[in-house]
């Protein structure tokens, strides 16, 4: 199949900004990874998105734009236009050299039980403003066919797994772990299985924002001064979501933030980091075989406590935890690369989701295409 050049654009549940990544791919086996860039959201944009999350709770259809949602969508689209423009300039590229943009948009509501998922972002406006074709709204068609609409990147993880070194491939089955605001895994063994595992960075971010007025616990420095509160950890880890059978996925608001006044700043940050790790490792309860290798990507891999807790828990099952970079990947770029890969698959009408990754009844493609 012909190789396409794509830019994947990801703005995740952490709501910290836009990841952009260049990828050349046939949407199947060929993956050539290129440059990446990060374009942070201002505090004002983050405040608007937090309000959008609240307003979105009143949505009953994907096309409604109540409250501040229309304003937020216009802003998100414009910020993506600026991100693409900056990305092209930084890498001395012309729009004519890019075949497609894979545009995730900003998720403000995800209710798989109602087959309702809403990502803010106008694909038509992005295509016209950048002069590049856009594939967007890639989750909805999976839901039409009985799926959860998430996670979507597993098929890209599967392509990356084929490029692992012989040394690492000896550790199959392998799991790719994406720790964003919510964490999800892709299990690659005799079959491909994926699902959201639980809170990633979101609860930690919400806690330190509320208690210290800072956006996140950089390098786990706050958590380093605290200890794990076992009672608090047990409270979160007995959430009914962990017992729920597959397929399953989460909305950012499914796990409630830690309440102010109950715990100290440091203790709360350290405990929430442990909860993120333990929730990920509990995923083995839903898998056919205990993985031998865990590859961590996403912002959560920068929190040393999450990583250390995962390693300790993995050691108990005789498995190994490494960061994406140790496998030859870019853990910050991987999800954005995945959206570029998915955009190419969508253009070729190849499946994006599968019964054991998102729960659709049969493999199904998806996405809407906006022409430049």
Residue 1: predicted pLDDT: 60
Phi-psi group of 130: left, alpha or beta (phi > 0 → left; psi -120 to 50 → alpha; rest → beta): alpha
Taking the C-alpha atoms of 32, 320, 202 and 22 in order, what is their torsion angle to the nearest 10 degrees? 0
Query: Which residues of the chain fall short of a pLDDT of 70?
Result: 1
255-280 b/e (C-beta count within 10 Å ≥ 16 → b): bebbeeeebebbbbbbbbbbbbbbbb
Between CA 168 and CA 288 the distance in angstroms is: 20
Query: Where are the domains positioned within the chain?
Result: 4-147+343-350+361-370, 154-327
Pairing type for strands 100-111 and 116-120 reads antiparallel
Start-to-end CA span in the chain (Å): 23
Nearest in space to 19 (alpha carbons), one of 137, 97, 126, 101:
101
Return mean pLDDT, the chain.
96
Domains 4-147+343-350+361-370 and 154-327 equal at CATH topology level = yes
Q: Which helix (H) or strand (E) holds 108?
A: strand 100-111
**Domain boundaries 4-147+343-350+361-370, corresponding CATH code:** 3.30.420.40
- Please report the pLDDT score of residue 14 as a whole number: 87
Where helices occur in the chain by DSSP H, the ranges are 43-56, 69-90, 123-130, 140-144, 154-161, 166-169, 202-212, 230-237, 265-281, 304-315, 334-347
Does 154-327 carry CATH code 2.40.50.140?
no
pLDDT score recorded for residue 252:
86
pLDDT (0 to 100) of residue 208: 96
Do 321 and 296 meet the contact criterion of CB atoms below 8 Å apart?
A: yes
């Amino acid at each position: 199949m012909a190789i396409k050049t794509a830019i994947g654009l990801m703005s995740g549940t952490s709501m910290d900004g836009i990841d952009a990544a260049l990828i050349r791919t046939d949407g199947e086996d060929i993956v050539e990874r290129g440059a990446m860039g990060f374009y942070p959201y201002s505090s004002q944009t983050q405040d608007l998105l937090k309000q959008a999350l609240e307003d979105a709770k009143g949505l009953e259809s994907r096309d409604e734009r109540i409250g501040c949602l229309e304003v937020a969508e216009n802003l998100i689209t414009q910020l993506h236009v600026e991100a693409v423009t900056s990305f092209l300039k930084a890498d001395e590229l012309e729009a004519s050299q890019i075949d497609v943009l894979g545009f995730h948009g900003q998720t403000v509501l995800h209710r798989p039980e109602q087959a309702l998922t809403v990502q803010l972002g106008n694909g038509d406006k992005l295509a016209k403003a950048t002069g590049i074709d856009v594939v967007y709204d890639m989750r909805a068609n999976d839901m039409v066919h009985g799926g959860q609409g998430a996670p979507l990147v597993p098929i890209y993880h599967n392509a990356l797994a084929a490029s692992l070194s012989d040394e690492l491939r000896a550790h199959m089955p392998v799991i790719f772990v994406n720790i964003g605001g919510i964490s999800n895994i892709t299990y690659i063994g005799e079959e491909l299985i994926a699902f959201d595992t639980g809170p990633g960075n979101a609860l930690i971010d919400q806690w330190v924002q509320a208690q210290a007025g800072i956006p996140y616990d950089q390098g786990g420095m706050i958590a380093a001064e605290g200890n794990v509160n076992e009672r608090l950890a047990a409270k979160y880890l007995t959430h009914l979501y962990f017992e729920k059978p597959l397929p399953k996925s989460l909305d950012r608001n499914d796990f409630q933030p830690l309440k102010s006044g109950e715990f100290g700043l440091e203790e709360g940050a350290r405990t929430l980091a442990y909860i993120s790790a333990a929730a990920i490792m509990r995923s083995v309860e839903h898998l056919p075989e205990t993985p031998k290798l865990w590859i961590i990507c996403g912002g959560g891999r920068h929190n040393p406590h999450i990583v250390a807790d995962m390693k300790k828990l993995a050691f108990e099952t005789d498995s190994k935890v490494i960061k994406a970079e140790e496998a030859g990947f870019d853990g910050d770029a991987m999800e954005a690369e995945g959206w570029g890969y998915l955009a190419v698959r969508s253009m070729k009408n190849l499946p994006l989701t599968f019964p054991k990754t998102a729960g659709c009844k049969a493999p199904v493609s998806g996405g809407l295409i906006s022409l430049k």
